[in-house]
Structure 1
Amino acid sequence: MLMEALTDRSRPAARSAASVRHYLPGGCENGGGIGRLVGYIIETAKETGAKHFVTDTRGARWSKLTSPARLVGAILTMAKDRIVTPDRIHHIHIAGRGSTSRKLILTEAARLLGCCHILHLHDYDYAGDFAQRSPRQQRLIRRMFQNADRVVALGQRDRATLTTLLGVDERRAVVAHNCVPDPGTHNICDGGTPLIVFLGRLSERKGVTELLSALNHPLMKELRWRAVLAGDGPVEHYRRLADAMALSDRVEMPGWLDAGEARALCARADILVLPSHAEGLAMAVLEGLSHGLAVVTTRVGAHEEVITDGETGIFVPVGDQNALGAALAKLVSDRELCIRLSVQGRAHYVNYFSMMVYMRSLEKLYETVSAKHQGWAAAR
């Protein structure tokens, strides 16, 4: 069952008094796309009166020695909440790999403490990660997801993983596409040098090698443009690769940008490109739509639930540097196409992926799980 509020834009935002604690790796500052999403939720919740808190379950990527202490601290915080604020909803964000290992422990604590808890799956290939686990781990993971009050997926592919592979009851598996704040409109393709932006971790999964090859495509060499590839990861490796392609005078790689810096970059850009090999639902794609950028991406994860090819963005095949180069060259040289995709993509964002739309669906989810627990407590 999907959350009706995702498509019910006429309903006024509920003034919910929900008290929610989010658990995520790295917190809002070091939690990557998950952290950015939760940060947006917290800022928007201030306008509705809801109280949202964040607990870091891992620490920064490079702080592996402190990760166990963070997890113990998260469990103690959960136990304290159960005593002091027993109605608090525990919103647990999960991905594959080490995140699942930590959440197996955290969700078991939630079950033993009797906490109302939601599992929110963020992963580019959770089915693949699950397949590599031992039979015992698979049993534990299935039980973890089946015991949650609700499970949230980023799109229909991941919801199918939950209901078929992990055995989650269809009535408890919901879809909530990611969202980003509304930055307002701006004009693109104004006659200046077009700016192409990439937002995300610089990696092979994100298609950065193909992107550099596409920027080095003969069609692109004949045109005026600049590009900024913003994100963490092996930045120096990709800088050297760009130098070897003689792109260093046109391509900048500033490293990771915080939310404000990313917003400022998009505000002066024209095109957003994300040629990923695998995604859940990339925040960067939504950032591009919200800013009214012409978006070029791949048909992975839930992207086809967000982008309509030729109307609100352009799809290119995964790993096809020539198709990517041709698509970018077309947008750089065709001002009318760039503007059309900008206007239509921006309208699509406002109607379906704004923070207000997302918060209405989230508030409804919280109301549902809270009512369930209150009914269960009354029956005892």
Structure 2
Amino acid sequence: MNVHILQVGPGHGQKGGIASVLSQLAAQRNQFERAGIFISFFETRAFRSIGGLLAFGLIDVPCFVRAASRADVVHFHVSERGSFYRKFVLFLVSLLSGKRTVFHLHSGNFERFFNRSDWLTRQLAETFIRKADCVITVSTPIARWLQRWRHTDKVHVLGNMALDAEHSVPAPPLLVNQRPYIAFAGRLSEAKGLDDLFRAVADLTRKGRDIELRIAGTGDTQRWKRIAAAHGIADRVIFEGWLNGNAKLAFYSGAHLFCMPSHFESFGIATLEAMFCGRPVVGTRLGGFLDLVEDGVSGYLVDAHNPQALAEALRKLVDDPERALHMGCAGLTRAQTCFRASLIVDRYVQCYQNIAARGVGEP
């Protein structure tokens, strides 16, 4: 049985997040097609202006109707705020068209968004989750929260892929006489724990550790340079900008360790990339980190908003290169065992086949 899937998510030049997930799925088309799954993509635009809102209603919705007419299953990749509202409108169109649907939540902040929303938004969210034929998310903690609305159907956990890093060759550890650097990759924001990381690095440098912090990602760089200066580490923080391809892999591979002290995290593609590059990880005890990182084995997990605990975890790896090497090797093994792209695609295929099989048996 061939099954045609329409993947619905961000496009129009957007970077990172769900856009990265969709690009990874597109790269695996051949494996999907060998299993009889044929995927296509519908890109949505952001609601950053009245013009964008009008374009969504006048252009995107009619184009979506045509694209969905050729699909058996419509797979919605959802985050909070604008992403949720856009996908919900298209979800209603799909229901009216009799299409089978997938609600795929990528946001580690969706529970807070839900709890802080008005009554109507909460009702829309519950409807989306309950009425979808299949619910998927990217980590176990989020799945447990979603399960309350899926009384008779399991919420599926499908991790993300890191194709480029998966096929890289992990670099050897830094030489002892080289200044080690801590790698951070992600959006430059408080939500990613960047200020906590600055405080931890400042604490370590005051205690005599000769280290650097290198940051890959986009955001208000000038603001974060001022914050680094306020913490007394302006000469220790290097902003690399947005990195792709070999430059990104070299960034991970040259690091002593990878750190992402997020205040919330759905999955953590950057964390998985660092693991495939053989680097130990220091993260926070929440979201996708709980699936990715084995605390004390492939890295360390600390409580969010705790720069002191973060500094101590970083110190253990900075002071002990051999421990960092062993933990990096353990992380690589876990990434290869649990998060290879072929395994992730197989899980997608199984979900799609189950949805299609349910459809065949119905009148």
TM-score normalised by the chain length of structure 1: 0.86
| In 2, Cα distance between equivalents of 1:329 and 1:102 | 44
Cα displacement string for residues 293-338 of structure 1 (whole angstroms, at most 9, x for unaligned residues): 1100010113222211110111122122122222222212211101
| In 1, Cα distance between equivalents of 2:260 and 2:108 | 14
2:45 to 43, 58, 63: 58
Corresponding residue for residue 128 of structure 2: 144
3-state SS, counterpart of residue 240 of structure 2: strand
Corresponding residue for residue 100 of structure 2: 116
Alignment of 1:225-264 (within 5 A): 225-258=211-244, 261-264=247-250
| In 2, Cα distance between equivalents of 1:70 and 1:184 | 43
Larger RCO (alpha carbons 8 Å, 6+ apart) = 1
| In 1, Cα distance between equivalents of 2:206 and 2:267 | 28
2:199 to 203, 206, 213: 213
Q: Kindly indicate whether residue 158 of structure 2 is the aligned counterpart of residue 171 of structure 1.
A: no
Corresponding residue for residue 42 of structure 1: 26
The runs of 5 or more residues in structure 2 that have no matched partner are none
Q: Kindly indicate whether residue 351 of structure 2 is the aligned counterpart of residue 365 of structure 1.
A: yes
| In 2, Cα distance between equivalents of 1:58 and 1:304 | 32
Alignment of 1:73-92 (within 5 A): 73-83=59-69, 85-87=70-72, 89-92=73-76
| In 2, Cα distance between equivalents of 1:64 and 1:290 | 42
3-state SS, counterpart of residue 361 of structure 2: helix
Shift of 1:201: 0.8
Shift of 1:285: 1.7
| In 2, Cα distance between equivalents of 1:51 and 1:248 | 50
Shift of 1:74: 3.8
Cα displacement string for residues 122-157 of structure 1 (whole angstroms, at most 9, x for unaligned residues): 112322211222223322221122111101022232
| In 2, Cα distance between equivalents of 1:268 and 1:71 | 47
3-state SS, counterpart of residue 350 of structure 2: helix
| In 1, Cα distance between equivalents of 2:358 and 2:132 | 12
Shift of 1:113: 1.1
What letter matches 1:265 in structure 2? F
Alignment of 1:1-20 (within 5 A): 18-20=3-5
Shift of 1:198: 0.5
Q: Is the 8 A contact 1:196 1:271 kept in 2?
A: yes
Corresponding residue for residue 137 of structure 2: 153
Q: Identical aligned pairs, as a percentage?
A: 25
| In 2, Cα distance between equivalents of 1:234 and 1:280 | 22
| In 2, Cα distance between equivalents of 1:296 and 1:64 | 41
Q: Kindly indicate whether residue 342 of structure 2 is the aligned counterpart of residue 356 of structure 1.
A: yes
| In 2, Cα distance between equivalents of 1:135 and 1:124 | 21
| In 2, Cα distance between equivalents of 1:20 and 1:186 | 38
Aligned residues: 356
Shift of 1:225: 2.6
Shift of 1:358: 0.5
| In 2, Cα distance between equivalents of 1:168 and 1:31 | 31
Cα displacement string for residues 194-231 of structure 1 (whole angstroms, at most 9, x for unaligned residues): 22111111111111111111111145652333321112
Q: Kindly indicate whether residue 238 of structure 2 is the aligned counterpart of residue 271 of structure 1.
A: no
3-state SS, counterpart of residue 347 of structure 1: helix
What letter matches 1:300 in structure 2? L
Corresponding residue for residue 274 of structure 2: 288
Q: Is the 8 A contact 1:219 1:326 kept in 2?
A: no
Corresponding residue for residue 11 of structure 1: none
| In 2, Cα distance between equivalents of 1:232 and 1:63 | 21
3-state SS, counterpart of residue 171 of structure 2: coil
Q: Kindly indicate whether residue 171 of structure 2 is the aligned counterpart of residue 189 of structure 1.
A: no
Cα displacement string for residues 253-294 of structure 1 (whole angstroms, at most 9, x for unaligned residues): 133334554333213223110011111222222112111111
| In 1, Cα distance between equivalents of 2:106 and 2:31 | 26
Shift of 1:348: 0.5
Change (3 A) 1:62 1:332: farther
Corresponding residue for residue 6 of structure 1: none
3-state SS, counterpart of residue 150 of structure 2: coil
What letter matches 2:304 in structure 1? V
Larger displacement relative to structure 2 (292-301 or 171-180): 171-180
Alignment RMSD = 2.3
Shift of 1:355: 0.8
| In 2, Cα distance between equivalents of 1:304 and 1:268 | 25
